[in-house]
Every structure is written in C-alpha cells, then in structure tokens.
Amino acid sequence: MRRCGNRARLRIFRLESSSRPIMDHWLKSSLVFVAAILILPARMQAQPAPPRRTPAPATQTAAAVPNTRIAVIYSQDFQDPKTGITRFAALLAKLNAEFQKTQDDLNATAQRLRGLQAEIATLQNGPNPSPTLIQTKTDQLDQQKRDYQRRGEDAQAAYQKRRNEVFNPLQDDISKALDVYARARGITLILDGSMMPLVYAADGLDITRAFMADYNSKNPAPAATPPKPAGTTPKPAGTTPN
C-alpha cells in the first residue's frame, strides 16, 4: 500500500434526511384511504375483487460493463535525480549550469551584505560609536538589500521562464509515452497519486518504476559534455603541435 501525503483523508458527508415529510404525507393518505373503506356499503365490500392483471415484463437491455484496468503512477518520482527519468536529471543539470553565474553573483552579494551587517554591529558595540557613520552604513545596507531582493526576483522569474521552455517538451513527450505504455498493456485508467489524494492503492497497481524503466530504455539521456579546460585554444586542422 502506498499513501499520498497528508492530503489523503476520508471525507464524511452529513446528509440531511428528507424522508420524514414524505412519511407524514404517506400516513395521512393511508388514513384517508382506510376511512373510505370503512364507510363503503356492505354489499360493495362483499363483491369479489376483479382478478389482477399481471403487467407484461418490461424489456430490458443489459448494458455492457466495460472491462476496466486501473493503474497508479506517482509522477513526482520522475524527478528523482538517481532513480527517476534520466532525461529530467540531464535537463535540470543543464538548466542549473545556465544560471550558475547568476547564482554565484547573488551568493557573493549576500556575503557582502552579511559582512556589512557585521561591520555595523561592530560600530554600534564599539567604545566610541559614531552615529553618523553608523547611519551611513545602515543606509548603504538598506539600499543594497533592496537591490539584492530585486535582482533575486528577476533571476527567479527568468529561471522559471527558462524552466518551462526546457521541461514543457519533455512533459509532453512523457505524457505521450505513458499513453502508448497504457494502451499496449490494456490499461484504461491511470491515477496520478502525486496529484490527487488516494485513500488506498495496492502495490500491484503502482506502475511508476516499470514505466520509468521502459521510458529510460527508449529515451536515454544524452551524454554530458565535459567542460573545456580554461585557457585551451583549439588548433587549426593540419597543424603540428610544438
């Protein structure tokens, strides 16, 4: 059995019963009917009742029950860098490499901000604190913090946009492959346990690892290109090394 996080909970609905007014109406109708029977003349009550006609049975067409085979998949496992879909890990590494310089610049700025904050604390706790100098440093810190926050937000927006550009084609490809995988195995319904709460799912319904193995075998990740050594200049073809 595999559960899907804290969101998987039974929800009990409280249904308001509407049967009581209906029963009251039925009782009133029954009393009226009984009263009518009591006031009928005796001769009317003595007459034999006419034979009841048995209605012809209605012709019913049995609806065919579809042969349903259900499977469960956990798409969040696709992103596991070790056991997930290898193309995802390769694209993520490439994406992070594109933004590595931006991340390094932000890290360096954060380090400078921490240094400036420590400097202000030292000035405040010194034997002869200068209010003017402390205020100047504080203003610098506030301005640099605002710049750092703005640059971080811009970097985050750029990263998210680029991430969609990189991973949307892969997502479409995985969706098509999952459709082919299901059709080939007679699966008619797949539930994604990472996207919806499941109260219970037997282990035999989980096709996550089997699908990832099938996808990775048919769609291997491209080999990583090793970085070029710094300062290396390629020589023209036909030249002899010194």
Q: pTM of the full predicted structure?
A: 0.60
Q: State yes or no: pLDDT of 83 exceeds 50.
A: yes
Count of H-run helices and E-run strands, the chain: 6, 2
Contact 90/224 with Cβ under 8 angstroms? yes
Domains of the chain with bracketed CATH: 70-218 (3.30.910.20)
The pLDDT of residue 24 is 39
Q: pLDDT of 21-50, one tens digit each?
A: 333 333 333 333 333 333 334 444 445 555
The pLDDT of residue 222 is 82
Instruction: List strand residue ranges (DSSP E) for 168-228, in order.
Output: 189-192
Give me the chain's average pLDDT, please.
Answer: 77
The pLDDT of residue 6 is 37
* Predicted confidence band of residue 51 (pLDDT cuts 50, 70, 90): low
Of 152 and 240, more confident: 152
Can you tell me which residue has the tokens 């059995």? Answer: 1
Contact 70/182 with Cβ under 8 angstroms? no
* Predicted confidence band of residue 1 (pLDDT cuts 50, 70, 90): very low
The pLDDT of residue 126 is 87
